[in-house]
Amino acid sequence: MVLGAAELIGRNGVAATSFGAVLEHSGAPRGSIYHHFPEGKSQLVVEAVEFAGDALYQRLESVSGSMVDIIAGIGDIWRILLVANDYEWSCPVLAAGTARTVEPAAADVAGATFVRWRDLIARRLTDEGIDAVRAPALANLMIASIEGAVGMCRSTRSIEPLDQVVAELQLLAGTLTSST
């Protein structure tokens, strides 16, 4: 059910994701929601964002290789989700993070998730010989540009924005490794 909530949050956003829709989508029983989620929708959204954040973190952990490989790997994670959902998808973490006025607690979880992702990627970059001071800023750029590109892809129903971002980030990586 938490998985289903994460899917619907990505698809429709936090505010447009109703309790009932999550129940239908996951096939869970109607009568026991407030038994499992005493705090109601807020709690469900928080757990969904935590779940999605963890799931993506684990996929990020599996990315390895050179900086160019890392960029390709991260891009693939989001591209697969976008294409598999026929562009009717956005990152649930970003969706929750930009819905502060609707669900503040979930936005905090989203913020913490971004920091975790950035630190993980930064560590990978330093392992590849990138300057440890600059690595967090580069990791931040990767996450921001890919998250932004996913939104643009959905808006235009095209994969081009994401592909272009990945390509440009890889060119940037080339200038870093060649100058060392």
Partner DNA sequence: GTCTATACGAAGATAGAC
Partner DNA sequence: GTCTATCTTCGTATAGAC
Q: Under the rule (CB under 7 A), what is the footprint of DNA?
A: 17-21, 29-36, 40-42
Minimum distance of DNA from residue 43's CB (angstroms): 8
Minimum distance of DNA from residue 78's CB (angstroms): 26
Minimum distance of DNA from residue 38's CB (angstroms): 7
Closest CA to 143 of 49, 30, 48, 60: 60
Give the residue with the Cβ less far from a copy of itself, 29 or 104: 104
C-alpha triplet 72, 78, 159: angle, nearest 5° = 85
Residue 5 binds what, of a copy of itself, DNA, none (CB under 5 to 8 Å, by partner type)?
Answer: none
Q: How many CB atoms lie within 10 A of CB 53?
A: 22
With contacts defined by CB under 8 A, name the span among 28-36, 59-67, 121-129, 149-157 that binds a copy of itself.
149-157
First to last CA, the chain: 49
**Count of alpha carbons within 13 Å of 22, Cβ hemisphere only?**
25
Contact pattern for a copy of itself over residues 125 through 144, marking x by CB under 8 A:
-----------xxx-xx-xx
C-alpha triplet 55, 22, 101: angle, nearest 5° = 75
Largest CA distance in the chain: 62
Give residue for tokens 């938490």.
2
Residue 120 binds what, of a copy of itself, DNA, none (CB under 5 to 8 Å, by partner type)?
Answer: none
Write the single-letter amino acid at 165.
V
* Spatial distance between the Cα atoms of 86 and 88, rounded to a whole number of angstroms: 5
Give the residue with the Cβ less far from DNA, 9 or 166: 9
Binding-site ranges for a copy of itself (CB under 8 A): 11-16, 87-88, 90, 93-102, 107, 110-111, 114-115, 136-138, 140-141, 143-149, 151-152, 154-157, 160-161, 164-165, 167-169, 172, 175
